[in-house]
Amino acid sequence: MLGMNRRYDLRMVLQDAVEASEMKEREMLWMTQFIEEVLRLPEELHRKLFFERVTRKEKAMEFTTYAERVGEKKGIKKGKLKGKAESVLQLLEMRFKQVPEDITAKVSNLTNTRLLNRLFEAAFRCESLKEFEAQLPTK
């Protein structure tokens, strides 16, 4: 039987292979579900794996093309911000079931990409909504 750290490493390698493949999105989802079922991890390692994969994707996507830079100047940046805010709120809902309206409003109104990225990490790591709320700007 594989140790948990070995399972973690193997899941990471297999998921990299799935994402690098030319499978259709649906097939990638099925393969990911299969990998998760066969190589189960304790909650703590599952969270760590999820966070590491999300962080890795964000870093890989930090390069901005010319078209993106022009688009941002024309207001497309608002769409990215909205998407990041929605990701933070969705993660909070997944973890804590219901998110109070005041937290939803504060996160939805943020306009700083770096802050939203930090809040995504906080939403992933915090133990309670109160702990998350302490990370929000007071303005």
What pLDDT sits at residue 46? Answer: 82
Q: In terms of residue numbers, what domain contains 24?
A: 4-60
The single-letter code of the amino acid at 116 is L
What pLDDT sits at residue 83? Answer: 83
Residue 138 lies in a domain: no
Residue 89 lies in a domain: yes
Residue 74 lies in a domain: yes
Looking at the fold, whether 35 and 83 belong to one and the same domain comes out as: no
Looking at the fold, whether 86 and 112 belong to one and the same domain comes out as: yes
Q: How many domains does the chain have?
A: 2
Rounded distance between C-alpha atoms, residue 99 and residue 108, angstroms: 12
The single-letter code of the amino acid at 99 is V
**One pLDDT digit (tens) per residue for the chain, 139 residues:** 568 888 888 888 888 888 888 888 888 888 888 988 888 888 888 888 888 877 776 555 555 666 656 666 666 667 777 888 888 899 899 889 899 999 999 999 998 888 988 898 889 889 999 999 999 988 6
Looking at the fold, whether 15 and 46 belong to one and the same domain comes out as: yes
**Domain boundary residue, one of 14, 34, 60:** 60
Residue 139 lies in a domain: no
125 CB-near residues (< 8 Å, 6+ apart):
51
Residue 71 lies in a domain: yes
